[in-house]
């Protein structure tokens, strides 16, 4: 048994296959997702727990950089297969060790620990390797998993059975959306994908939240769609796009990443239409379920909660290490200063954002 650090394509493909097969896994572990951070000047790597050339566990790390500060971020995990969970603590020990070796001032992990009974989380466990770590995260600028908004799609023989698993108000929205005459398209050509992404960017600007620019995310998006790791779905009416939704497959389920809809009357209910189609796709592919994701505006959170069976938070799995205290104190000083001078350093902060 050994732990190796790599970005070699042969190993990355094996790792992505492993992530696709494990219930306790997440799109944040996929190599393409982490490679996307190189567009901001960051680095990434995959740590693999290998037994006789077979991957049995590991994690991915984003190595964020700003000036002379470096941060070692494990956005999800570490994880192992079911037969090697005792080695999670070995992988955790490597996080702070590797951060120190790379000259980082800080490291953190986001373990999917929960008291909920769900195949996509680990039960709350004490790991000896976390004895030197402190709870919660203190670096916020590389997105790390903090939970799942879960809808199971298993156990339904027909689509009607599946629709009836939702509360009455949600069923009405689904059926109403289906009567609007919307056409579902899986977008694969760059021009169509950009049109859909532009709609999502437009919604983000209108509602005051940030998305990666098309130039920063384009290569990752096209690569993941080509590899069938992701789908960009569009809802069209008479040839005009009314809504778009990006979902990624990992860990035996789909996760909603981002989306946008046209704000017009009559309301085509494109958001409801696309979420249900994503759930139906998971059901048709015999996956475990759909993570509609946490967060958003008050209205978005309400919509998501109406579809989900439960919200599962990883509050008990957030840990960090201060690897180089002097450097980290300096970072905290500059972060505080930067908050008071947003305009001059706006471009610097965008490097950090998801």
> How does residue 237 score in pLDDT terms, banded at 50, 70 and 90?
very high
Q: Is the model's pLDDT at 353 over the cut of 50?
A: no
| Cα–Cα distance, 242 to 230 (Å, whole number) | 20
Averaged confidence pLDDT in the chain = 92
Q: Is the model's pLDDT at 299 over the cut of 50?
A: yes
Overall average pLDDT of the 96-124 stretch: 96
User: What homologous superfamily does CATH list for 2-146+314-352?
Assistant: Gcn5-related N-acetyltransferase (GNAT) (3.40.630.30)
Among 206, 24, 220, which residue's Cα sits nearest to residue 232? 220
Range 154-287: architecture per CATH: 3-Layer(aba) Sandwich (3.40)
pLDDT attached to residue 40: 86
- Structure token digits, residue 199: 């709609």
Domain residue spans in the chain? 2-146+314-352, 154-287
Over residues 82-106, the pLDDT tens digits come to: 999 999 999 999 999 999 999 999 9
Whether the Cβ atoms of residue 260 and residue 199 lie closer than 8 Å to each other: yes
pLDDT attached to residue 344: 42
Q: Is the model's pLDDT at 300 over the cut of 90?
A: no
> How does residue 352 score in pLDDT terms, banded at 50, 70 and 90?
very low
Kindly list the distances between the CA atom of residue 178 and the CA atoms of 87, 135, 240, 273, in Å, as whole numbers in the listed order.
Answer: 48, 46, 16, 7
Q: Is the model's pLDDT at 6 over the cut of 50?
A: yes
CB atoms near residue 169 (< 10 Å): 9
Element containing residue 312 per DSSP (H, E) = strand 310-313
CB atoms near residue 274 (< 10 Å): 26
DSSP string spanning 59-97?
EEEEEEEETTEEEEEE-SB-EE-GGGGGGHHHHHHHHHH
Over residues 313-343, the pLDDT tens digits come to: 999 999 999 999 999 999 998 877 655 544 4
Whether the Cβ atoms of residue 252 and residue 131 lie closer than 8 Å to each other: no
Instruction: Answer positive or negative: Cα dihedral of 50, 55, 58, 60.
Output: positive
Instruction: Confirm whether 2-146+314-352 and 154-287 share one CATH topology.
Output: yes
Q: Is the model's pLDDT at 124 over the cut of 80?
A: yes
Overall average pLDDT of the 114-130 stretch: 95
Q: Percentage of the chain surpassing pLDDT 90?
A: 84
Whether the Cβ atoms of residue 1 and residue 53 lie closer than 8 Å to each other: no
Cross-strand bridge partners of residue 50: 2, 55
Euclidean distance between the first and the last CA atom of the chain, given in angstroms as a whole number: 34
Overall average pLDDT of the 66-85 stretch: 94
Q: Is the model's pLDDT at 348 over the cut of 80?
A: no
Whether the Cβ atoms of residue 235 and residue 268 lie closer than 8 Å to each other: yes
| Count of positions (residues) in the chain | 354
Q: Is the model's pLDDT at 41 over the cut of 50?
A: yes
Whether the Cβ atoms of residue 33 and residue 101 lie closer than 8 Å to each other: no
| Cα–Cα distance, 79 to 25 (Å, whole number) | 7
> How does residue 310 score in pLDDT terms, banded at 50, 70 and 90?
very high
Overall average pLDDT of the 120-131 stretch: 95
């Amino acid at each position: 048994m050994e732990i190796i650090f790599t970005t070699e394509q042969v190993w990355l493909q094996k790792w992505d296959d492993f992530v696709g097969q494990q219930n306790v896994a997440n799109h944040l572990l996929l190599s393409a997702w982490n490679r996307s951070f190189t567009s901001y000047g960051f680095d990434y790597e995959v740590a693999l727990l290998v037994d006789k050339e077979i991957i049995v566990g590991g994690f991915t790390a984003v190595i964020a950089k700003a000036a002379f500060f470096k941060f070692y971020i494990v956005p999800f995990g570490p994880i192992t297969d079911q037969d090697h969970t005792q080695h999670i603590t070995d992988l955790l020990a490597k996080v702070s060790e590797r951060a120190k070796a790379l000259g980082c001032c800080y490291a953190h992990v986001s373990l999917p620990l929960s008291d909920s009974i769900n195949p996509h989380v680990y039960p709350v466990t004490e790991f000896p390797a976390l004895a030197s770590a402190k709870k919660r995260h203190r670096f916020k600028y590389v997105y790390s998993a903090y939970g799942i908004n879960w809808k199971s799609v298993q156990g339904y023989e027909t689509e009607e059975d599946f629709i009836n698993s939702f509360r009455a108000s949600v069923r009405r929205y689904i059926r109403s959306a289906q009567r609007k005459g919307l056409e579902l398209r899986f977008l694969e050509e760059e021009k169509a994908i950009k049109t859909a992404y532009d709609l999502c960017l437009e919604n983000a600007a209108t509602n005051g939240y940030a998305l990666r620019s098309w130039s920063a995310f384009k290569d990752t998006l096209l690569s993941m769609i080509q590899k069938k790791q992701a789908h960009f779905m569009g809802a069209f009416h008479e040839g005009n796009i009314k809504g778009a939704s990006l979902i990624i497959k990992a860990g035996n389920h789909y996760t909603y990443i981002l989306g946008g809809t046209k704000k017009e009357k009559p309301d085509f209910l494109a958001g409801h239409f696309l979420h249900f189609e994503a759930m139906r796709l998971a059901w048709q592919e015999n996956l475990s379920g759909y993570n509609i994701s946490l967060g958003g505006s008050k209205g978005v959170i309400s919509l998501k909660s109406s579809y989900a069976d439960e919200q599962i938070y990883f509050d008990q799995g957030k840990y960090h290490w201060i690897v180089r205290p002097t450097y980290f104190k300096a970072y905290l000083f500059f972060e505080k200063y930067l908050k008071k001078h947003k305009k001059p350093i706006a471009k610097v902060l965008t490097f950090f954002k998801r």
